[in-house]
Amino acid sequence: MSTVELRDLRRTFGSVVALDNLDLDIRSGEFVSMLGPSGCGKTTALRIVAGFEWPDSGAVIVDGQDVLGQPANKRNMGMVFQSYSLFPNMTAQQNVEFGLRVRKQSHERRAKRASELLDLVGLASAMSRYPRQLSGGQQQRVALARSLAIEPKVLLLDEPLSALDAKVRVQLREEVRRIQLELGITTLYVTHDQEEALSISDRVAVMSAGRVEQLGTPAQIYSGPRTAFVANFVGTMNKLEGVVMSSEDRVVSCGPIKVIVPDPTFIHAVGENVELYIRPEDVAIELLPVGGSPAPGYFEGRVTSLTFLGPVTRVGLRTDIGALLADVSSAVALNLAADAPVAVQLNASSLRSLDASPESQSAPVS
């Protein structure tokens, strides 16, 4: 098992900065996902680790050794690509054996290893099939087996599930995680799918504009976003605009509503404009009877939309502090209709004030 350190990686394409002094440490046997929107530099970083791109400056350290001087074919890193990358002229078994043939291993050893790995990915019966005779999910399974055959130091996965349909994607991501845990291989995974990243990773590096915006466990990323970007990119957030009323007590006025920000590091001068964030599941609503008024701690709103999401329904609200989204049980939502008056309550302990550019951005994250 290997450790990987990305140090101060910078890569520009003309005037576009793809990586802006990126730092990231991956522990031995850890599954780290780089999550971000298109153009955030995550694939560039992965390709630099693989040896397909070179940075303008910085280092890629694997097990304490800078590997930037080594060509891709000497780095011993398994890679699974976004597009189907099986060699069309070879069967599944021959594809898996390819890396071992390059390493001049005996026919028996190659066949044994290919058989083990195809069995591991659940395709033992498809050994003699050509890529065109395999489904997309099966092809990516073979690609995974092929990348593992060479016993790589690090497994690199570049959006390997993005070409698959939703059901296969969920099934295969669980398999990827199961195999990673079984083999204990250090894994770097690139995706723009937050659900995918949060569900299978030990840690997630949320990337933006060539930098790691926040690195943490899936729970930390979801529950404790440190920047507005992370809050908005991972999950859904309500944004409230307010003015600081009391610096000491962290009281913020959002229109007619006053809220207390629970974060003790919230230090802003009185009168300063701030942005507060709260997730839809932290917004509670109750149907108001006709002519009724909200109880203390609640404020009034009206339903503008209802979006059924399965177990929960996302309710769009128009309130005095602006438009809000609230997630309620779908059973409760059956009683709601467009323009229905509701009492709205914010879970004050979940309110966050987030900076667009935290100081932490420039510090190495690990």
Partner 1 sequence: MAQVSASPAAPAALSSHRLRRVRSRVPVWHLLWLLVAAIFFLLPIYSVVQFSLEGTLPGQGVFHWYETVFDDPMFRSTFWLSIQISLETVAVSLLLMVPTVFWIHLRLPRLRPVMDLITILPFVVPPIVLIVGLAPMLRKFSWLIVRPEVLALIYVVFALPFLYRALDAGLRAIDLRTLVEAAESLGSSIPGTLLRVILPNLRAAIIGGSLLTVAISMGEFTVASLLGFFTFPVYTYEIATSTAYEGVALSFISFIFVWAAMLALYLLGSGGRGAAGVAITD
Positions in the binding site for partner 1 (CB under 8 A): 50-52, 71-79, 81, 83-91, 98-99, 102-103, 129-138, 143, 146-147, 149-150, 156, 164-165, 167-168
- Between CA 135 and CA 141 the distance in angstroms is 10
Q: How far apart are the first and last CA of the chain?
A: 18
Q: How far is the CB of 353 from partner 1 (least distance, A)?
A: 44
CB of 295 to partner 1, least distance (A): 51
Beta strand spans in 40-153 (E) = 57-62, 65-66, 77-80
Residue nearer to partner 1 on the CB measure, 70 or 199: 70
Which of 13, 269 has the CB closer to partner 1? 13
Query: Which residues, other chains included, contact 283 with Cβ-Cβ below 8 Å and sequence gap of 6+?
Result: 238, 317, 324, 325, 326, 327, 344, 345, 346, 347
Place of tokens 């071992």: 100
* Cβ-based nearer residue to partner 1, 91 or 194: 91
Nearer to partner 1, 29 or 136 (CB): 136
Q: Cβ 289 to partner 1, closest distance in Å?
A: 50
Distance CA 215, CA 204 (A): 6
Question: Which C-beta is closer to partner 1: that of 74 or that of 112?
Answer: 74
For partner 1, the closer of residues 152 and 280 by Cβ is 152
What does the DSSP assignment read for 214-263?
A: EEE-HHHHHH---BHHHHHHSS--EEEEEEEEETTTTEEEETTEEEE---
Q: What is the CA radius of gyration of the chain?
A: 25
Q: How far is the CB of 265 from partner 1 (least distance, A)?
A: 44
Find, among 113, 178, 175, the residue nearest to 146 by Cα. Answer: 113
Output 165 or 241, the one with its CB closest to partner 1. 165
| Residue 142: its H or E element | helix 136-149
CB of 47 to partner 1, least distance (A): 8
Nearer to partner 1, 130 or 266 (CB): 130
Q: In whole angstroms, how close is the CB of 88 to partner 1 at the nearest point?
A: 5
Nearest approach, Cβ of 32 to partner 1 (angstroms)? Answer: 19
Q: How far is the CB of 292 from partner 1 (least distance, A)?
A: 52
216 in Cβ contact with 24 (< 8 Å)? no
Which candidate, 269, 342, 359, 252, places its Cα nearest to that of 306?
342
In whole angstroms, give the CA distance from residue 231 to residue 233. Answer: 6
Provide the pairing of β-strand 31-35 with 203-208: parallel
